């Protein structure tokens, strides 16, 4: 019997952990495992804001696939279509060629991209915080604004370059605003020509509280902590229109602003929409054993799949979090093996362990196993959690070293300039294969 061909699409939390579990559970050569991934790393997204803020080096949160996966073949490219009847994935390789990849078992884990709305100017002027390119771009962009403001004699230009807006009060938006605001405040020492009072940060969300996942008390705590730092937080407010140098809010305010970061939600990777399969809010509908209906050989999980949340019950589906993607990966790998051996599959069931949110500067809020924490204890739990869950020893060691170096020596404020020729729009930097 030829070894079954297992193909995984995407090497994020879900895809990487499926491959790793398969490698550990299967004897060498018992199956041919292949992973389609556009980059050579698995990205630890929760620490992206710290890359943007210069606390961490980009490589510290990128787990090297060639080192971490020893028996899995990397197909460097992106899935642009799936023929479920022919059991073939169409892959656009990174050199532009398109090749078919056949499978006996397919595991779909392409994650999500930033969800946007038809807000005038958002696509032209908004930035995202979903991948390494966006984090590195944003860091360069923010430092460039301070450099240009310092070099300008025009008060209006200086105000717009020092005005920063983040849309979205979930963990991604809060961490981005908190960490980047600290960067700009501390950077003022290097820009003596700029009045520190010019730097303004605004965080808006249509909801009536921050970080709803953490409960009301920690949401209010975060609001006060960030407010004391000088971040203007507006709840029940969103973005109405964006131009190159202004942000128009739904409460009527017009902010001078050349940096707007959009973190208001995610939507599944575009390749999912190319498939002839049922979706719920764009996520692939799967059963509790992570298989899509009528296709027992196809599994889907992570942000791209609407996985029933059996712990919450009812019609609830698991929220798009790294915690669920990682746990689902274990179930998916076990069920792939069971399906190959003709054994029954098991259902995915996981009780949420809580969330950690790093606000930078020694501050954090967290709710591990339901216990609300803030301040230094939350910071210790947050950093300990990240060190435990970062992929591989190199990433953990690098991250620990970066934290120590940053605490001792501060920010180097280096603007790399690699992305100067790109506009840094969401459409430029996010992964849109299959669209």
- In this structure, what token pair is assigned to residue 266? 């995610």
> What's the CA dihedral at 210, 352, 320, 365 to 10 degrees?
30
Q: Mind giving me the DSSP string for 170-205? A: SHHHHHHHHHHHHHHHHHGGG-TTS-GGG-EEEEEE
Q: Which residues contact 313 (CB under 8 A, 6 or more apart)?
A: none
Cα 132–Cα 404–Cα 52 angle in degrees, nearest 5: 25
Nearer to ligand FAD, 81 or 296 (CB): 81
- Least Å distance, CB 390 to ligand FAD, is 12
Residue nearest to ligand FAD (CB): 12
Minimum distance from CB of 210 to ligand FAD (Å)?
14
Per-residue CA distances from 424 to 29, 40, 124, 127 (Å)? 43, 22, 9, 7
d(CA 346, CA 217): 37
Smallest separation (angstroms) from ligand FAD to the CB of 186: 21
> Site residues (CB under 6 A) for ligand FAD?
9-15, 36-38, 43, 45-46, 48-49, 78-79, 109-111, 129-130, 171-172, 269, 271, 302-304, 320-323, 325, 355, 431, 433-434
- Measured between alpha carbons, how far is 114 from 49 in angstroms, rounded to an integer? 15
Question: Interhelix angle for 171-187 vs 132-151, to 10°?
Answer: 30
Nearest to 6 by CA among 127, 149, 104: 104
Cβ 360 to ligand FAD shortest distance, Å? 13
The C-alpha atoms of residue 258 and residue 235 are separated, in whole angstroms, by 21
CB of 129 or CB of 149, closer to ligand FAD: 129
Closer residue to ligand FAD, CB minimum distance, 21 or 158: 21
Q: Interior CA angle at 292 toward 289 and 172, to 5°?
A: 80
- Taking the least distance from each CB to ligand FAD, the nearer of 149 and 356 is 356
| Nearest distance, CB of residue 250 and ligand FAD, angstroms | 24
Query: Residue 163 or 354: which CB sits closer to ligand FAD?
Result: 354
Pick 9 or 298: Cβ nearer ligand FAD:
9
The smaller minimum CB distance to ligand FAD, of residues 111 and 256, is found at 111
- Asked if 395 contacts 401 with a C-beta cutoff of 8 angstroms, the reply is no
> Nearest distance from residue 402's CB to ligand FAD, in Å?
17
β partners of residue 41? 64
Min dist CB 148 to ligand FAD, Å, is: 26
């Amino acid at each position: 019997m030829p070894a079954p061909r297992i193909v995984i699409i995407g090497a994020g939390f879900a895809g990487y952990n499926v491959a790793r579990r398969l490698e550990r559970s299967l004897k060498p050569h018992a199956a041919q495992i292949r992973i389609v991934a556009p980059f050579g790393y698995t990205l630890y997204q929760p620490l992206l804001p710290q890359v943007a803020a210069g606390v961490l080096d980009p490589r510290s949160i990128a787990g090297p696939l060639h080192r971490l996966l020893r028996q899995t073949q990397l197909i460097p490219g992106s899935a642009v279509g799936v023929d479920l009847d022919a059991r073939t994935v169409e892959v656009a390789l990174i050199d532009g060629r398109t090749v078919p990849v056949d499978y006996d078992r397919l595991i779909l884990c392409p994650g999500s991209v930033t969800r946007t709305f038809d807000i005038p100017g958002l696509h032209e002027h908004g930035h995202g915080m979903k991948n390494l390119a966006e984090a590195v771009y944003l860091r360069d962009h923010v430092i460039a604004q301070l450099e240009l403001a310092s070099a300008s004699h025009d008060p209006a230009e200086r105000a717009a370059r020092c005005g920063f807006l983040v849309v979205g009060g979930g963990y991604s938006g809060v961490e981005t605003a908190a960490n980047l605001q600290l960067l700009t405040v501390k950077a003022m020492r290097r820009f003596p020509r700029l009045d520190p009072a010019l730097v303004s940060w605004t965080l808006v969300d249509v909801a009536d509280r921050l970080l709803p996942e953490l409960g009301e008390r920690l949401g209010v705590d975060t609001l006060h902590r960030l407010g004391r730092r000088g971040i203007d937080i507006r709840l029940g407010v969103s973005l109405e229109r964006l131009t190159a140098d202004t942000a128009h809010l739904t409460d009527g305010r017009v902010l001078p602003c050349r940096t707007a970061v959009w973190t208001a939600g995610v939507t599944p990777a575009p390749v999912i929409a190319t498939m002839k399969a049922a979706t719920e809010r764009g996520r692939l509908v799967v059963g509790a054993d992570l298989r899509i209906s009528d296709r027992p050989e196809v599994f889907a999980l992570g942000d791209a799949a609407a996985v029933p949340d059996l712990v919450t019950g009812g019609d609830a589906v698991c929220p798009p979090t790294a915690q669920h993607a990682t746990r689902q990966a274990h179930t998916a790998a076990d069920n792939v093996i069971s399906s190959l051996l003709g054994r029954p599959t098991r259902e995915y069931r996981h009780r949420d362990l809580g969330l950690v949110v790093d606000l930078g500067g020694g501050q954090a809020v967290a709710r591990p196993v339901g216990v609300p924490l803030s301040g230094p204890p939350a910071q210790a739990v947050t950093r300990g959690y990240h060190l435990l869950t970062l992929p591989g020893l190199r990433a953990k060691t690098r991250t620990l070293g970066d934290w120590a170096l940053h605490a001792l020596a501060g920010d180097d404020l280096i603007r790399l300039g690699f992305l100067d020729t790109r506009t840094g729009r969401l459409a430029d930097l996010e992964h849109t294969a299959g669209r």
